[in-house]
Chain A
Amino acid sequence: MSWLQKLMPARIRTEGGSKRAVPEGLWEKCDNCTAVLYRPELERNLRVCPKCNHHMQIGARERLKQFLDDDSGEEIGALLQPQDLLKFRDSKRYRDRLVAAQKATAERDALVALSGTLFSRSIVAAAFEFRFMAGSMGSVVGERFALAGEAAIAQRCPLVCFSATGGARMQEGLFSLLQMAKTSAVLARMKEERLPYISVLTHPTTGGVSASLGMLGDLILAEPGALIGFAGPRVIEQTVRETLPEGFQRSEFLLEHGALDQIVDRRELRNRIGSLLALLMHQPAPEPDPLPGSEPEESPPPPA
């Protein structure tokens, strides 16, 4: 800090004054390769970095919008509100954490479920909102998932779920744990009804969600490079006191160990799932979409 800056009162000092500020909203850095990316192009590319192929996190609504047919989707269990039955309090009250998460995400809880169409065929799709308390599964998440499965059974259509979660929500205690049993029971029914359930694991999917609805797909797909596992890497490291192998618990590692059917690039997910479901359900192959990002528009040069 120069003597002049030191003299200035803190409130008029600006952070990193020597660097040129990136205009808000137009440019974004890839969290993996740090390339500066033109946001509209990144969005067209479904938030996959065009330079390094890194799949950045996306919200639940955006995910479902990418996946379902345009203007399709009726929300399931939209009015359910999380409850604080344990009056749970750590450094903050659970109620306050909920309010903050609801404000930050404009969602009531961490799972969004829609009944809509995929290539004009009925489907129920659900997606986790990771920004809502790390996508943790409490009673509302479990309930919405269960309602989604039951809706699929009622409509005789498949169910697809995109997970992005740290696992069970501690603040709901045993209620959270039992959502694993509840969601698994609904999926067992779907299997008996011979209605396909495809689980798509995205970064990250761990804990109680991985050990229930995550791993119960008729087909299990994953996005590249996603962290997927039961125990988190830090817990494992503390337990076994060994350095974890390179690529441990990443999608590619799971595929190699036989835990997944396929790793699918986000830009291909819609087409791929459309084809897989058509095969499972004895339907003609859908007409695939052109791949997003295949016709890049001219972008202005990034800031120097």
Chain B
Amino acid sequence: MNPNFLDFEQPIAELEAKISELRHASHGQAMNIEEEISRLKDKCKAKTEQIFANLSPWQVSQLARHPQRPQTLDYIETVFSEYQELAGDRAYSDDAAIVGGLARLEGRAVMVIGQQKGRDTKQKVKRNFGMPRPEGYRKAKRLMQLAERYKLPLLTFIDTMGAYPGIGAEERGQSEAIASNLELLSRLPVPVVCTVIGEGGSGGALAIGVGDRTLMLQYAVYSVISPEGCASILWKSAERARDAAEALGITAGRLKELGLIDEVIKEPAGGAHRDKLAAADSLKRTLLRQLDQLSGIEAKDLLQQRYERLRGFGSQKAG
């Protein structure tokens, strides 16, 4: 089994391995191997489409955490022509689980903020697996205020299991750090577009996820609690995560149906990790279109619309 592939991706992994084997063997060999390769490629494409046409919510949540899935800094590198990272909360430290800074999107200056999980072990430890501590949220808050002062649209990229549940994090006010960002974002007088690129885990995700638009990549998930956490509380067993993923309604398609997100961004066949550039391109085009829609609106109207949007979540007519 190839560790870089999920169990349901194994048939794709096998076909890809065969193709590269053939390529390797074909050096200076007969022509008919090319034909075989192209036949296998077609088969691989068909197989991928077949597998991805019927993913369960649990499989999608595994894709959202795929070890090869592009992360915030991968998208920043390809979507923006310039990126100046800014560090620190000016009070305690710099939390590497949240990154952010000034960036240029097709010529226009913007502020970006996102969680960064890290890929290899060293990076993951440095980034605390993308689980921010209060200082991370306070750095984000500082960047939000900077965006307000200089009238920069804010783009956020959500990819976290959740805020870090640690002793120090509690001592330094994890709840207050998150709450304060929710409040600030609800009234920040610049366009705010939030995109869930991988895992949108609970309050730790929402702390950079309140704005004028919520977008989700096709195989991202967004949830009030992780399927494992929910299963261990309600089913008394983390083994039931599959059922919890189903019950919680965490996929982009489902959340769009429920009216809780605004747009699902299509990913390349087989997921963003199969073609990172295509995924980034899809994201970039959507962001540009959304920003175009929002940037013409006056700040006062923007805030009124945002208030009505937030106010409408789970709202019902009294009666």
Interface assignment of A5: CB less than 8 Å from any CB of chain B? no
A231 touches B170 (CB 8 A): yes
- B165-A239 in contact (CB<8A): yes
Q: Tell me the bound Cα distance from A184 to B173 in angstroms.
A: 17
Instruction: Give Cα A273 to B245, complex, Å.
Output: 44
In the complex, which residue of chain A has the Cβ closest to the Cβ of B209?
Answer: A181
Q: Please report which residues of chain B, range 131-178, place their CB below 8 angstroms from some CB of chain A when the two chains form the complex.
A: 163-167, 169-176, 178
Could you say which residues of chain A place their CB within 8 Å of the CB of B319?
A: 79
Out of A80, A174, A211, A249, name the residue touching B178 (CB < 8 Å): A211
Question: In the complex the two chains form, is A170's CB within 8 Å of B313's CB?
Answer: no
Contact A181 B313 (CB under 8 A): yes
CB distance from B173 to the nearest CB of A (A): 5
Majority-rule SS of B interface residues: helix
14 contacts between A and B (CB under 8 A): A79-B319, A85-B258, A86-B248, A173-B223, A175-B258, A178-B313, A184-B179, A185-B306, A188-B186, A214-B179, A228-B175, A239-B166, A240-B165, A257-B172
SS class of chain A's interface: helix, strand, loop or mixed?
helix
Contact check, A91 vs B224: say whether CB atoms are below 8 A apart: no
Would you call A27 an interface residue if the criterion is a C-beta within 8 Å of the partner chain's C-beta atoms? no
Q: Which residues of A contact B184 (CB under 8 A)?
A: 188
Contact A188 B187 (CB under 8 A): yes
- Whether the Cβ atoms of B233 and A170 lie closer than 8 Å is yes
**B260 touching A174, Cβ below 8 Å:** yes
Question: Which of B210, B313, B316 meets A80, CB within 8 Å?
Answer: B316
1/0 contact trace for A160-198 toward B, CB 8 Å? 000000001010111111111110111111011000000
Chain B residues, CB < 8 A from A214: 175, 179
In Å, the complex CA distance between A228 and B179 comes to 14
Q: Are A173 and B250 interface neighbours, CB within 8 A?
A: yes
Binary interface encoding of chain B residues 54-66 relative to chain A, with 1 for a CB under 8 A from any of its CBs, else 0 = 0000000000000
Are A180 and B315 closer than 8 Å at their CB atoms?
Answer: no
| Listed stretches A62-70, A98-106, A138-146; interface member | A138-146
A165 to B163, CA, bound (A): 19
A-B contact count (CB 8 A): 191
The answer on a CB contact under 8 Å between B165 and A178 is no
Q: Interface code B206-248, partner A: CB below 8 Å = 1, 0 otherwise?
A: 1101100000000000111100001001110000000110011
In the complex, per-residue mask of A84-120: 1 if CB is within 8 Å of any chain B CB, else 0 = 0110111100000000000000000000000000000
Q: Judging by beta carbons under 8 Å apart, are B182 and A208 in contact?
A: no
| Supplied contacts A90-B235, A139-B313, 14 more A-B pairs, CB within 8 Å | A91-B235, A142-B314, A168-B203, A168-B225, A174-B258, A178-B314, A180-B203, A185-B306, A187-B183, A188-B184, A208-B203, A215-B175, A215-B178, A230-B163
Contacts of A246 in B (CB 8 A): none
From A80, A83, A89, B247 is in contact (CB under 8 Å) with A89
Residue of B nearest to A147 (CB): B318
**Inter-chain contact B186/A175, CB cutoff 8 Å:** no
A219 interface residue (CB < 8 Å to B): no
B234: chain A residues at CB < 8 Å are 90-91, 170
A280 to B284, CA, bound (A): 48
Known: A139-B315, A216-B180. A229 touches B170 (CB 8 A): yes
B302 nearest CB across to chain A (Å): 13
Closest to B261 in A: A174
Nearest-Cβ distance from residue A97 to partner chain B, whole angstroms: 10
Q: Does B307 reach chain A (CB closer than 8 Å)? A: yes
A279 on the B face (CB < 8 A): no
- Within the complex, the shortest CB–CB distance from B211 to chain A, in Å, comes to 9
